[in-house]
């Protein structure tokens, strides 16, 4: 019963340790250290990392940058709301905006090219969830998050909002195209 009684020896840290415990601690600690070092190593050798690049931005500043890109590179419009589909040049800064309850604009990227993808929200918090790849990041108002992305496959991708953003949250759905 001694787990609910005072220990037999008052100086409890002098109690001997069974070897089964020591062996297990050895295995467990080794695994913990491997997992710890895997994260910085993936930053060096892995190809899926967020560098942490981000800037403060005011919503109207951000919106202006989005509009500038939309005006320069729109290739067509889609849906009843005529949302522009933008095909920015490879290597450029690409802006995606989240607001209640819409992603704006629709991006069309080229496979194998690298883009600086900016994400920010005009109002509440949103979640960028690219399907079926299942890449998910948080989108905050006031913060311009920059992900350097290189699509490695072409096709039509679903862009879901996966941070709860109010009653019409489930309608906040868009597309992202990658062409060869």
Partner 1 sequence: MKPLFRTCPKSGLVLHRDAENLIKANAVAAVVFLAVGGLLGLLVALTRWPSVHLLDAQRFYQVLTGHGVVTLLVWVIFFEIAVLYFCSAVLLRCRLAAPKWGWTAFALMLGGAAIAAVAIVLGGSSVMMTSYVPMPASPLFYLGLILFAVGALIGCFIFLATLVVARDERTYEGSIPLVTFGALTACIIAIFTIASGAIILIPTFLWSVGYISEVDPLMYRVVWWAMGHSSQQINVAAHVSVWYAIAAIVFGARPMSEKVSRGAFVLYILFINLASAHHLLVDPGVGTEWKIFNTSYAMYLAVLASLVHGLTVPGSIEIAQRRKGLNRGLFEWLRKAPWGNPVFSGMFLSLVGFGFIGGISGVVMGVEQINFLVHNTLYVPGHFHGTVALGTTLAFMALSFWLVPILFRRELIWPGLARWQPWLFGVGTALQAFFLMGAGTLGVSRRHWDIAFTDALFDWAYSGLAYTMMALNGMSALMAVAGGLLFVLIMVGTILWGRPSGAPAEYKAERPATLMPAAPEARGHAGIGIGRLVAPGTFALAMFLLVIFVVYYVINYAYLASLWKIS
Shortest Å distance, C-beta 72 to partner 1: 24
Buried b (16+ CB within 10 A) or exposed e, 129-138: bbeeeeeeee
Residue closer to partner 1, measured from CB, 23 or 75? 23
Shortest Å distance, C-beta 43 to partner 1: 7
Considering only residues 19 through 78, tell me which ones interact with partner 1, judged by CB under 8 A: 19-21, 23-25, 27-29, 31-33, 35-36, 38-40, 42-43, 46-52, 54
Binding mask 151-170 for partner 1 (x = CB under 8 A): xxx----x-xxxxxxxxxxx
Residue closer to partner 1, measured from CB, 73 or 177? 177
Q: Which of 52, 30, 28 is nearest to 40 (CA)?
A: 52
Shortest Å distance, C-beta 104 to partner 1: 11
Q: Which of 73, 140, 145 is nearest to 116 (CA)?
A: 145
Considering only residues 97 through 136, tell me which ones interact with partner 1, judged by CB under 8 A: 102, 114, 119, 123-125, 127, 129, 131-136
DSSP states of 80-102: TTTEEEE-PPTTSEEEEEEETTE
Helix (H) or strand (E) holding 65: helix 59-73
Between CA 20 and CA 177 the distance in angstroms is: 56
Residue closer to partner 1, measured from CB, 7 or 89? 7
Shortest Å distance, C-beta 107 to partner 1: 13
Shortest Å distance, C-beta 161 to partner 1: 8
Compute the Cα dihedral for 50, 87, 143, 127 and give only its sign. negative
């Amino acid at each position: 019963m001694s787990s609910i009684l005072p220990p037999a020896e008052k100086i409890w840290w002098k109690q001997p340790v069974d070897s089964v415990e020591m062996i297990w601690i050895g295995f467990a600690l080794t695994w913990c250290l491997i997992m710890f070092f895997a994260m910085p190593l993936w930053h060096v050798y892995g190809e899926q990392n967020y560098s942490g690049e981000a800037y403060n931005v005011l919503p109207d500043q951000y919106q202006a940058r989005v509009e500038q890109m939309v005006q320069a590179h729109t290739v067509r419009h889609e849906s009843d709301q005529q949302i522009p589909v933008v095909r920015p040049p490879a290597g450029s800064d690409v802006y995606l905006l989240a607001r209640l309850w819409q992603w704006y604009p629709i991006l069309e990227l080229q496979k194998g090219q690298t883009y600086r993808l900016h994400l920010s929200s005009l109002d509440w918090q949103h979640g960028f969830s690219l399907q079926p790849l299942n890449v998910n990041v948080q989108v905050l108002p006031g913060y311009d998050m920059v992900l350097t992305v290189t699509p490695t496959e072409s096709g039509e991708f679903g862009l879901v909002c996966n941070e709860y953003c109010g009653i019409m949250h489930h309608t906040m759905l868009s597309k992202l195209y990658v062409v060869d």
